[in-house]
Structure 1
Amino acid sequence: MIFVTVGAGDFNALIQAMDELAPQLAAAGQKVLLQIGHGAYVPQHAEYFRFAPSLEPYFDQADVIVSHGGIGVVTEVLRMGKRLVGVSNHDRYDDHQDDLLRAMASRGHLVWCQDMHHLADAIAQASTTSLLPYQEEPGQIAEIIIDFVLNGRR
């Protein structure tokens, strides 16, 4: 199964592109399931839902996940070791999704689809490419806060 998520917002362009690919993917034996959030586009060729208490069961079942570039979804999917195609939502106020997806793709953790016209190719690439496991780098924010509280250092 290919699971597509846009999180709590909307990403009509991604949902429409995946809906248009759904018949082709179904013919190749891949079911498409879309989580469309608050999107206005209503899929015609794929099953969909707006929200769920947790997306983890859908992530578990998916062979490939296609997602917007939100850090929450990206890191959750990568922690699970799933194959991910990240697509930047340029309807957002800045290009922070590009920054995240560029960094993760350059490290070999995901396939970054920069152009919706190449979405089918990105899914095929994610299905066959060996992606590198994601491991979070240790953070120091807790130690910095504790040091500041206890010692007043900045």
Structure 2
Amino acid sequence: MICQDDGDSLVEVNFFTFAADLKEHLKSADLVISHAGSGSIFETLRMGKPLIVVVNEALMDNHQAELAEELAAQGYLMYAFPSTLEDVITKMNLNLLVPYEPSDASAVVTSLSSFLGFHN
């Protein structure tokens, strides 16, 4: 789909409802708009792509909202609800996003392995 912004520029928008492997789509993206599932979020952030996640308001415990709000508070992404997506896109400033650096979980893995009686 080709959209025109407020000026004379045209913006190409590619969308799909499911992809078995997102990597190729993510590599070519300038901006990713995704559902707020943790797998999609962290795969996109690890690839260094700017991200807007859309939270599913129908979830009972709404863990998506909690994760999206926390990662947005840390500056890694922007989040929206279906009713606010247009406003978030209109007002977004990608320069304010902070690059995501995955943490080293090896100390946690070592501690848990030791606690559970597993030895390397």
TM-score normalized by the length of structure 2: 0.79
User: Which ranges in structure 1 are unaligned for 5 or more consecutive residues?
Assistant: 1-21, 37-50
- RMSD between aligned alpha carbons? 2.2
1:111 correspondence with 2:75:
no
Once the two structures are superposed, residues 88-123 of structure 1 have per-residue CA deviations (whole angstroms, 9 ceiling, x without a partner) of 11223321001100110000111111x433312322
1:78 correspondence with 2:10:
no
Are residues 68 and 91 of structure 1, via their aligned partners in 2, closer, same or farther at CA, if it must alter by over 3 Å?
A: same
Q: How many matched pairs?
A: 113
Counterpart contact for 2:50–2:94, Cα < 8 Å: no
Aligned to 1:6: none
Shift of 1:127: 5.5
Higher RCO, 1 vs 2 (CA within 8 Å, ≥6 residues apart): 1
Are residues 33 and 129 of structure 1, via their aligned partners in 2, closer, same or farther at CA, if it must alter by over 3 Å?
A: same
Q: 1:94 and 1:68 mapped to 2: Cα distance?
A: 16
TM-score normalized by the length of structure 1: 0.64
Write out aligned runs for 1:2-151 (5 A): 26-28=3-5, 29-36=10-17, 51-113=18-80, 115-126=81-92, 128-139=94-105, 140-148=107-115, 149-150=117-118
The runs of 4+ residues in structure 1 deviating greater than 3 Å are 124-129
Q: 1:78 and 1:125 mapped to 2: Cα distance?
A: 20
Are residues 147 and 132 of structure 1, via their aligned partners in 2, closer, same or farther at CA, if it must alter by over 3 Å?
A: same
User: Which ranges in structure 2 are unaligned for 5 or more consecutive residues?
Assistant: none
